[in-house]
Structure 1
Amino acid sequence: MLTRRRALLAGAAAVGAAGTAVALGTVPAREPVRPPAPGPRPHRAVQPSAYRLRPLTGYGPPGAAPARTPVRREPLLHVPAPGRTMVLTFDDGPDPRYTPGILDTLARYDVRAMFFVCGEMAENNRDLLARMADEGHVVGNHTWSHPLLTRLGRRRIRREMERTSEIVDRAYGEPPRWFRAPYGAWNRAAFQLGAELGMEPLAWTVDTLDWTEPGTRTIVDRVEDGAAPGVVVLSHDAGGDRSQSVRALRSYLPGLLDSGYHLTVPRRGPA
């Protein structure tokens, strides 16, 4: 089943292909072009372009070469944006016990977030990735099995990334453009291989440490105390009992919005 995002991109590609075919076949070779006969010309209804449905950010002029993803030496820690902008991120899922509750809260307040998924979790919960796509969330690559990358060779790291990207591409509708190393343990190979797969490395600014199950109120306090423009918040929707994380989001999200924060996601064009 096609996700809404895949359907939009397929429709846009079809419109572009049709336009190219018409442009190439307008004037027969070696035959002069004759002026049209006088008189009123019939009105032709203008069809809406599928390109109007695309987000403006991330798309260059027609025919522009795709930008090459840089190889970084350290992960991005915040997302620069105007005003009081923050990014919420959730790792290790999707988990059918907790991810739907997080998605429900985000939908209630019309907020977009980032989900860094593990391939072995995504494989059995592709419907949740499809829902993330339909509701405008960004899905990132968090490896297949959540290993410590600094103890792996390049071949294993690549396989961990590639398998997850393949699952995301099929279930979400496009390959991931963001990558996060498990445990925040980055090395040169992770940066290089991630860039080769068209992914930018994103870490975090505020760690809720929700995986320690410190209590819902503690998680809320950590988010509210760390709130600031450009901040990236790390929480989890899998990897253990995440009921505290689900409840905490219900509490701090309306508070952030009431304080004037804009919760959004970074956008990147195709690699």
Structure 2
Amino acid sequence: MRSDHTGSERRTLLRVALGLGFATAVPLIAADPASAPSRPARTAGPPPAGAAGPPGHVRGRPSPYRLEPMTANTPPRFRPARPPVRTRPFEHLPELGHAMVLSFDDGPDPLYTPDILATLREQRVRAMFFVCGEMADGNPDLLRQMADDGHVVGNHSWSHPLIPKLSRPAIRDELGRTSEVVERVLGAAPLWYRAPYGAWNRNSFEIGAELGMEPMAWTVDTLDWKTPGTGTIVRRVLGGAAPGVVVLSHDAGGDRSQSVAALRRYLPRLLDAGYRITVPHRV
């Protein structure tokens, strides 16, 4: 969603996106008033040490992969669905108010995830973290910290592959192993999943459902993995802000210092503008 869209265009795009398959998440945003604790009073002075940018020397395993463009790896087009085709959203949207969801993919990464968690904690808001199994397996303490702070932990596959290129057994392995890690560390398997690159196919939808998960997409892509600059990321989030929006950012998969710095800038501005940063839940 671009910053020059009008409010009407945003609402139209949101309805279209909902009709395409992730309405299971957004209608529930407004139904979780407990997920938006009151904000602390702001005081003058420097930000807490925990909210500072990544230090120059941090122990921890570097990200095992780096995101790349999908230009040469675009999944093949599928044949149009046969009639009847659903033309209405799954359910009627209630009044969303100014609720938004912030989501972070690819972690947890000991270089950047702690600073993102610190900023969210400072502002007393919750977010969604779609974790890769190999990262979660190596950083269980960060996974526990996410859950302890009230964030939603979702499944983002084990090794961040292009899902449509995999066989059904391989997809099951990617999703199943990640759910097992999350369940082992947190005591409960994830209820949401997001395909790497947003590249789903029928097999992934079916296998995700068998594992008890709902797919979760996004409506505002910060493209922070391209490291466009902190200011650009901030403008994309603020320009795309609207009721029901789901923002996509990353806390791993490369240098995410810009993502960390941008969150510290746009989150207080969203809250000052009256947005309620919340997380969905299933009923």
- TM-score greater than 0.5 by the shorter chain: yes
Give yes or no for contact 1:93–1:239 (8 Å, CA) kept in 2.
yes
Q: Which letter does structure 2 place at the counterpart of 1:79?
A: V
> Cα deviations across residues 210-266 of structure 1 (Å, max 9, x unaligned)?
000000000000000000000000000000000000000000000000000000001
User: Which residue of 91, 109, 121 corresponds with 1:95?
Assistant: 109
Say yes or no: does 1:193 pair with 2:139: no
Which residues of 2 match residues 74-113 of structure 1 at below 5 A? 74-76=20-22, 79-80=26-27, 81=30, 82-113=96-127
TM (norm. structure 1) is: 0.71
Say yes or no: does 1:123 pair with 2:137: yes
Give yes or no for contact 1:140–1:180 (8 Å, CA) kept in 2.
yes
Distance 1:199 1:144, change over 3 A: same
> Cα deviations across residues 172-217 of structure 1 (Å, max 9, x unaligned)?
2310000100011010001000011010000100000000000000
Distance 1:233 1:85, change over 3 A: same
Give yes or no for contact 1:133–1:173 (8 Å, CA) kept in 2.
no
Q: Which runs of 5+ in 2 are unaligned?
A: 1-17, 31-95
Counterpart-to-counterpart distance in 1, 2:168 and 2:184: 24
Q: Which letter does structure 1 place at the counterpart of 2:26?
A: V
Alignment partner, residue 252 of structure 1: 266
Offset at residue 73 of structure 1 (A): 9.6
Give yes or no for contact 1:89–1:116 (8 Å, CA) kept in 2.
yes
Say yes or no: does 1:172 pair with 2:186: yes
Offset at residue 74 of structure 1 (A): 4.7
Q: Secondary structure at the match of 2:138?
A: coil
Q: Secondary structure at the match of 2:22?
A: coil
Counterpart-to-counterpart distance in 1, 2:188 and 2:149: 14
Say yes or no: does 1:236 pair with 2:250: yes
Q: Which runs of 5+ in 1 are unaligned?
A: 1-71
What is the count of residue pairs matched by the alignment? 198
Give structure 1 regions of 4+ aligned residues with deviation exceeding 6 angstroms: none
User: Which residue of 205, 211, 218 corresponds with 1:204?
Assistant: 218
Counterpart-to-counterpart distance in 2, 1:202 and 1:146: 16
Tell me the C-alpha RMSD between the 2 structures: 1.5
Q: Which letter does structure 1 place at the counterpart of 2:98?
A: R
Distance 1:75 1:91, change over 3 A: farther
Q: Secondary structure at the match of 1:198?
A: coil
Say yes or no: does 1:218 pair with 2:232: yes
Query: Radius of gyration: which is bigger?
Result: 1
Which residues of 2 match residues 8-19 of structure 1 at below 5 A? none
> Cα deviations across residues 118-157 of structure 1 (Å, max 9, x unaligned)?
0000001000110111110000000000000100010000
TM (norm. structure 2) is: 0.68
Counterpart-to-counterpart distance in 1, 2:177 and 2:19: 24
> Cα deviations across residues 3-34 of structure 1 (Å, max 9, x unaligned)?
xxxxxxxxxxxxxxxxxxxxxxxxxxxxxxxx
Overall identity of the aligned pairs, in %: 69
Counterpart-to-counterpart distance in 1, 2:185 and 2:141: 7
